[in-house]
Amino acid sequence: MRTGFKLHRAHYGWIEVFITIILVLFALTVIVPMCLPLLFVFKTQLEYSYDPWSLPKHITVKNFLEAWDAIKIGEGLANTLLVSLGVVVLAVPCAALAGYVFARYHSKVTEVLFYAILVCYFIPIQMVLIPLYKFNIKLGLSNTLLGLILPMAAFNIPFWVLIYRSFFHTLPKDLGDAACIDGAGHATTFFKIMLPLASPATTLALLLIFIAAWSDYFLSLIMLNDQKLFTMQLRVSQFLNAYGVDRMPRYAAAAIISMSPTVILYIIGHKWVIKGTLAGALKE
Amino acid sequence: MKKFTLVCLALVLVPLMAFAQGQSDTAAKESGPVTLTIWGRDIPDTAADHIYVHDLIEGFQKANPDIKLEYIPLGDPGLADKTKITMAAGVDQLPEIVQSWGGSVMGGYADAGRLLDLTSELASIPGSKAASDAMSWKGKTYGVAPFFAVAGIFLNEDIFARNGLKAPTTIVEMEAVCDTLLAKGIQPFACGAKDKWPALAMYMYLVNRYGGNAFDRAQARTLSFADDAFVNAAKTYQMWVKKGYFGTKPLGEAYGDAQQQMAIGKAAMMVTGSWMCSQFSNKEFTDQKIGFYAFPVVTGGVGKVTDVMGMTDIGFFATKNAEAKKDAVVRFFKYAMSVEACASEPGRICAVPGVPAKAELTGMASKVFAASQSVQFWWDQDLPPAVTSPLNDTIQSFFLPNSDVASSLKAFEELVIDEMGPVKK
Amino acid sequence: MVQSIQIFDPIKTKKTAKRNRAIFVSLCIFPSLLFLVMFMYYPIVETFRLSFMKSSGLGQDRFIGLDNYRKLFVSEEFRAGLVHVLTWAFWSIVIQLPLAFFIAFSLTFYVNRVSKPMRAIYYMANIMPSAITAMLGKFVFSPNNGILNNLGNQFGWDWLSNMDFLGSERLAFWSVFAVATWAYTGFPIIYLMARIEQMPKEFKEAAELDGVTGWKYAWYILLPNLVYPLRILAVLCTIGSLKLFDLPYMMTTGGPGHATVTLGISLYRQGFINWQYGRASAIGVIIFLLSLIFTIIQFSGKKEAA
């Protein structure tokens, strides 16, 4: 496949160059706004107020130092990891299994069940918070990490059932049937043949659910009461919310610090996604 | 198939097994020394506007080693949202103490039976009446407010001196000042109308100066919010907006932007609460000299210069969950209202007698508060929550180029009728 | 299963096969269903129940029939919100999806040294928490510090420096929409890319042998094969718009006037600020029902020939 690309590279010529330029321009519109804060996080508050967009005359690292001190990055890291991993471990297998069945085992019953799961995606999160919190209290789960993990997994499942369903949907139908005739059971067919073919979906799900759980704020804020249980995102928000956007350079410095773990995580994870998609394709 | 069944079982069982653990966690909480959990807004660091909370926590802990304080800062929308949801779920999960502005929001919690009545316990604490009223609801006191804020005009003394202007004492003078400033290319008022609530401060004063106690009467349902007193004030407000007193993009400017316009001398005045004193006297925040004055009066009008608008700056109430720890809570409240705890606060008006203002600007604001004869609680803290965000919407609509203020106010009045009943004849 | 191999009665085998299938299907669906029944169904039922109540969320609920709904449909804020989310859904399908398709196609078709890092970049905006996205949006659009107005001042372009991106009723919606496009197009791109990667490689090879390349390949070969994924994205765009809350709320609080109110903002304000929990529930129910209707319409069209 890779050699195929190289063989045909010459055909694309200037169109490829043109499109690549457009892509780079689009990519710049994505990147440049993220870099805007760099123009002023090194300024004092007053310098920023007078002239936010000029190049800084002298670099002041005070904003960063203060923000760094206050944020104490890494505090709550264990909680965050536990929550993110818990959500991934619960949500991804559930969604993959259900998505597979909905894509390959059509019947009236599965159709109804599919909608029964999908409807949970239709309700806005602000709406479910109060009943969910009350329910957690009844279960004795309020103010525990588990009481955060379970609903968060539940929030992620419907969306990824839909996505998994769409991925399994397009796999050639005879593939699974052939395996079945060969005497492989349903579970074997799923694990040995179908799941590897849907690995782009799995890598997406793993990465995106992990990042979503990692950066969750609202649900964690409601479900956790004890500072000991607070996740990293919650601790960061304690700082960001207390200073507010009115003290911009410092706020932006804090925002940059708080975002860095997510970005690093993403960069590491993304390489792995690209690898995953290629691996899935090669097996074919 | 068997392996697969096991996987499915595990997916179900793992969470179930962890339930037991979760339940044992909650049981362990009750023993040991008395713990007071406090949900607050600011992080307790030593920044100028957080220093009070910092000193309060540290000082109290030092003086009362038998009580363990668990202070959890939750920030701006965080504190309100979390409190609301936890209150909705009942009493058990609540902390003992919550930071609050009091008023109708606290009143709603009190009505629902979520708060601890401390009327007799707190009666002996000296402090301003306006502040303790703010933390009371239907005759019962639920907490303390060591700091109180009043609304007035922050104005840039340098700009005024440079242009030979002086602080206006009447509305006519104020208009003349604005026209002079406009001619010089200086934005007369910074407001922050994009965030809606900042626009309320000036409107409350305009209604008071034109219509006296119109708001009191409207709240008591003896006057309509669409009455002339409200409409005329709104028309004045709108006229000022149209003249450009609030700059060319008043609705794009957030409260933070407005503060910044003041800080760099691009805007000359700002009508807002005295909580801005600490920022406006902070050399890192502004290099301008800024003063604080009472809102001017209408010559021959009903409202007096001693009628001021105010609200809680920092306050706390106790929840029903603190019933068993009443003594500890009262000790905390008494400490919060002590001279010792309040001494280092630079920028807020202290409700405790005997605490001098540290900054000159805070002193000017304190003087306005001390001279006041009647304090009207900030409207959006006084009206029931159901109508407060529509109120702020209505006031923001005065800034819209084609809005008809009379019909906006009428729409608001209809909403008020829904919630608070029609005007009694 | 072990038994079914040993017994060679054809009727029984068929029965066992059917039973096995049923067991497999239920085992697969059960964990998801259990989660959702436990954690989502109760809140959904509660939302429906409360939508017929006068409720502050603090107890003392009172049954008032359809009053909440009646009040909503005469309220200007709600109607504005409804119009905005439908417009929003329309434009996000019309603008974001073709854009995503173009980028996903180009990144997977023209694989070169530049396109690889760009795969990572395009999704980057999506991992920012909305608070940060809103902050970045304000750097671009706010009147005093915003970079656009400042550029206008710098170069003396009055048309640009006079634009009130967040404060004028005409522009605010589009400013927020632009930020949303910036932040949310990442998912369609990454999803379509994964779908394209998942396609059999013979597609591309066969096309290249026939001399079908570039946009012809995208239009005649890729697009017909991506109808189903695009339909799913359209559903997600629609539901996302119906639930849209944090980005517009943090950028404009729904203002100026009602220019950027969404159903999500209206719901939050009613429930958390106005303490009209019953009315907020009614909005929740409306969002729910609209999502259901749009999803059924989208999925009931002719099924993809996979």
- How far is the alpha carbon of B126 from chain C, nearest alpha carbon, in Å? 33
pLDDT the model gives residue A249: 83
Chain A interface includes B398 (CB < 8 A): no
CA distances for A258 relative to A143, B161, C129, angstroms: 24, 44, 10
Contact A215 C281 (CB under 8 A): no
Is a pLDDT exceeding 80 seen at residue B397? Answer: yes
Query: For chains A and C, what is the number of CB pairs under 8 angstroms?
Result: 274
B169: number of CA atoms within 13 Å, CB side? 5
pLDDT the model gives residue C226: 87
Please indicate whether residue A80 or residue A3 has the higher confidence score (pLDDT).
Answer: A80
Is a pLDDT exceeding 60 seen at residue A218? Answer: yes
The helix (run of H) or strand (run of E) holding residue B74 is none
Mean pLDDT, rounded, of chain A: 82
Which candidate, B132, B98, B252, places its Cα nearest to that of B190? B252
Contacts of B109 in chain C (CB under 8 A): 58
pLDDT the model gives residue C63: 92
Phi, psi dihedrals of residue B76, rounded to the nearest 5° = -70, -70
Which candidate, B92, B117, B86, B70, places its Cα nearest to that of B26? B92
- How far is the alpha carbon of C253 from chain A, nearest alpha carbon, in Å? 15
Tell me how crowded residue C292 is: count the other CB atoms within 10 A of its CB.
15
Contact A141 B19 (CB under 8 A): yes
Question: What is the CATH code of the structural domain delimited by C76-300?
Answer: 1.10.3720.10
Name the residue facing A30 among C29, C112, C124 (closest C-beta).
C124
Spatial neighbors of A199 by CB under 8 A, at least 6 apart, are A276, A277, A279, A280
Task: Check whether residue A159 and residue A216 sit in a common domain.
Answer: yes
pLDDT digits (tens, 9 = 90+) for B174-213: 999 999 999 999 999 999 999 999 999 999 999 999 988 9
Residue A234 in domain = yes
Phi, psi dihedrals of residue A61, rounded to the nearest 5° = -95, 5
Burial of C60: CB neighbours in 10 Å, binned 0-12, 13-18, 19+: exposed
Confidence of residue A184 (pLDDT cuts 50, 70, 90): low
What is the sign, positive or negative, of the torsion defined by CA atoms of B399, B400, B406, B410? Answer: negative
Mean pLDDT of all residues in B376-392? 92
Contacts of A122 in chain C (CB under 8 A): 239, 242, 287-288, 291-292, 295
Return the structure tokens found at B241.
């907006």
pLDDT the model gives residue A150: 93
Domain over B34-147+311-360 is classified CATH 3.40.190.10: yes
Mean pLDDT of all residues in B99-120? 93
Return the structure tokens found at A178.
């052939």
The Cα–Cα gap between A223 and B26 comes to: 14
Is a pLDDT exceeding 80 seen at residue A7? Answer: no
| CATH number of domain containing A266 | 1.10.3720.10
Lowest mean pLDDT, pick from A52-56, A179-183, B265-269, B337-341:
A179-183
Contact C142 B252 (CB under 8 A): yes
Domain that holds residue A253: 71-282
Is a pLDDT exceeding 50 seen at residue A154? Answer: yes
pLDDT digits (tens, 9 = 90+) for C239-263: 999 999 989 998 988 879 899 999 9
Neighbours, chain B (3 or more CB pairs < 8 A): A, C
Tell me how crowded residue B198 is: count the other CB atoms within 10 A of its CB.
24
Question: Nearest 5 degrees, angle CA A93-CA A99-CA A100?
Answer: 90
Which candidate, C121, B238, C201, B53, places its Cα nearest to that of A3? C201
Contact A31 C29 (CB under 8 A): no
The Cα–Cα gap between B274 and B290 comes to: 12
Task: Check whether residue A127 and residue A257 sit in a common domain.
Answer: yes
Task: Check whether residue A76 and residue A33 sit in a common domain.
Answer: no
- How far is the alpha carbon of A241 from chain B, nearest alpha carbon, in Å? 4
Angle between helices A248-282 and C115-124 (to 10 degrees): 130
The Cα–Cα gap between C272 and B88 comes to: 11
Which candidate, C233, C19, A146, A130, places its Cα nearest to that of B93? A130
Which residues of chain C from 217 to 256 reach within 8 Å of chain A, CB to CB?
225, 228-229, 232, 235-236, 239, 242-243, 245
The Cα–Cα gap between A129 and C280 comes to: 12
- How far is the alpha carbon of A227 from chain C, nearest alpha carbon, in Å? 21
For chain B, the 3-state helix, strand and coil shares in percent, each to the nearest 5, are 50, 15, 30
Chain B interface includes C152 (CB < 8 A): no
The Cα–Cα gap between A118 and C29 comes to: 12
Evaluate whether B255 touches A246 at the Cβ level (below 8 Å).
yes
Contact A90 B15 (CB under 8 A): yes
pLDDT digits (tens, 9 = 90+) for B48-105: 778 899 999 999 999 999 999 999 999 878 899 999 999 998 888 899 999 999 999 9
Evaluate whether B179 touches B185 at the Cβ level (below 8 Å).
no
Is a pLDDT exceeding 50 seen at residue C3? Answer: no
Name the residue facing B18 among A146, A191, A222 (closest C-beta).
A146
Confidence of residue B32 (pLDDT cuts 50, 70, 90): low
At the top level of CATH, the class of B150-310+377-420 is: alpha beta
Contact C123 A162 (CB under 8 A): no
Contact A46 B18 (CB under 8 A): no
- How far is the alpha carbon of A194 from chain C, nearest alpha carbon, in Å? 12
With left for phi above 0 and alpha for psi between -120 and 50, is residue B342 left, alpha or beta? alpha
Spatial neighbors of C82 by CB under 8 A, at least 6 apart, are C263, C286
Is a pLDDT exceeding 90 seen at residue B37? Answer: yes
CA distances for C253 relative to B92, B162, B193, B196, C302, angstroms: 33, 38, 11, 8, 40
Contacts of A90 in chain C (CB under 8 A): 35
Is a pLDDT exceeding 50 seen at residue A87? Answer: yes
Contacts of B87 in chain C (CB under 8 A): 58
Spatial neighbors of C137 by CB under 8 A, at least 6 apart, are A33, C175, C176, C179, C182, C247, C251
Beta bridge partners of B314: B147
Name the residue facing A162 among C111, C135, C232 (closest C-beta).
C232
Contact C167 B4 (CB under 8 A): no
Evaluate whether C137 touches C175 at the Cβ level (below 8 Å).
yes
Name the residue facing C143 among B8, B249, B397 (closest C-beta).
B249
* Domain segments of chain C as ranges: 76-300
Residue of C nearest to A128 (CA): C43
Contacts of A227 in chain B (CB under 8 A): 70, 72
Neighbours, chain A (3 or more CB pairs < 8 A): B, C
Task: Check whether residue A102 and residue A26 sit in a common domain.
Answer: no
Contact A244 B264 (CB under 8 A): no
What is the torsion angle, in degrees rounded to the nearest 10, for the CA atoms of residue C22, residue C24, residue C26 and residue C32? -160
Angle between helices A199-214 and A145-169 (to 10 degrees): 150
Residue found by looking up tokens 């009931």 in the block: C300
Residue A253 in domain = yes
Which residues of chain C from 88 to 107 reach within 8 Å of chain A, CB to CB?
103, 106-107
- How far is the alpha carbon of C56 from chain B, nearest alpha carbon, in Å? 9
Task: Check whether residue A7 and residue A30 sit in a common domain.
Answer: yes
Residue A66 in domain = no
Question: Nearest 5 degrees, angle CA C57-CA C259-CA C298?
Answer: 75
- How far is the alpha carbon of A24 from chain B, nearest alpha carbon, in Å? 32
Return the structure tokens found at B214.
């119109």
Which candidate, C222, A221, C37, A207, places its Cα nearest to that of B81? A221
Contacts of C34 in chain B (CB under 8 A): 12
Confidence of residue C185 (pLDDT cuts 50, 70, 90): very high
Residue A266 in domain = yes
- How far is the alpha carbon of B234 from chain C, nearest alpha carbon, in Å? 16
Contact C273 B253 (CB under 8 A): no
Task: Check whether residue A55 and residue A79 sit in a common domain.
Answer: no
Task: Check whether residue A202 and residue A126 sit in a common domain.
Answer: yes
Evaluate whether A267 touches C120 at the Cβ level (below 8 Å).
yes
Is a pLDDT exceeding 90 seen at residue B244? Answer: yes
Mean pLDDT of all residues in B216-241? 93
* Domain segments of chain B as ranges: 34-147+311-360, 150-310+377-420
Structural domains of chain A, count: 2
- How far is the alpha carbon of A200 from chain C, nearest alpha carbon, in Å? 6
Q: Which ipTM did the prediction report?
A: 0.88
Whole-number CA gyration radius for chain A = 24
Mean pLDDT, rounded, of chain B: 89
pLDDT the model gives residue A5: 43
Confidence of residue C16 (pLDDT cuts 50, 70, 90): confident
Q: Which residue, among B191, B387, B389, B414, would best test binding to C if mutated, counting the most C CBs under 10 Å from its CB?
A: B389
What is the torsion angle, in degrees rounded to the nearest 10, for the CA atoms of residue B300, residue B304, residue B309 and residue B315? 180
Name the residue facing A281 among C1, C136, C197 (closest C-beta).
C197
Which candidate, A41, A46, A58, places its Cα nearest to that of B279? A46
- How far is the alpha carbon of B44 from chain A, nearest alpha carbon, in Å? 9
Angle between helices C186-198 and C115-124 (to 10 degrees): 140
What is the sign, positive or negative, of the torsion defined by CA atoms of C265, C270, C272, C273? Answer: positive
The Cα–Cα gap between C278 and A46 comes to: 46
Q: A51-55, B66-70, B131-135, B150-154 — which one is most confidently predicted on average?
A: B150-154
pLDDT digits (tens, 9 = 90+) for A251-283: 888 888 888 888 888 888 777 766 655 544 444
Contacts of A266 in chain C (CB under 8 A): 120, 123-124, 127
- How far is the alpha carbon of B415 from chain C, nearest alpha carbon, in Å? 10
Please indicate whether residue C17 or residue B13 has the higher confidence score (pLDDT).
Answer: C17
Mean pLDDT of all residues in C212-216? 75
Burial of B30: CB neighbours in 10 Å, binned 0-12, 13-18, 19+: exposed
The Cα–Cα gap between B99 and B332 comes to: 13
Q: Which residue, among B2, B17, B26, B92, would best test binding to A if mutated, counting the most A CBs under 10 Å from its CB?
A: B26
Is a pLDDT exceeding 80 seen at residue B9? Answer: no
Contacts of A225 in chain B (CB under 8 A): 37, 72, 86, 93, 95
The Cα–Cα gap between A104 and C144 comes to: 56
The Cα–Cα gap between A166 and C198 comes to: 12
Evaluate whether C242 touches A125 at the Cβ level (below 8 Å).
no
pLDDT the model gives residue A282: 40
Mean pLDDT of all residues in C154-168? 89
Task: Check whether residue A120 and residue A222 sit in a common domain.
Answer: yes
Neighbours, chain C (3 or more CB pairs < 8 A): A, B
The Cα–Cα gap between C231 and C306 comes to: 14
The Cα–Cα gap between B227 and B205 comes to: 16
Confidence of residue B313 (pLDDT cuts 50, 70, 90): very high
Contacts of A240 in chain B (CB under 8 A): 75
Return the structure tokens found at C175.
């400013």
Confidence of residue A55 (pLDDT cuts 50, 70, 90): confident
Question: Nearest 5 degrees, angle CA C90-CA C96-CA C102?
Answer: 135
SS3 A209: helix
pLDDT digits (tens, 9 = 90+) for C273-302: 899 999 999 999 999 999 999 998 888 765
Name the residue facing B257 among C34, C77, C142 (closest C-beta).
C142
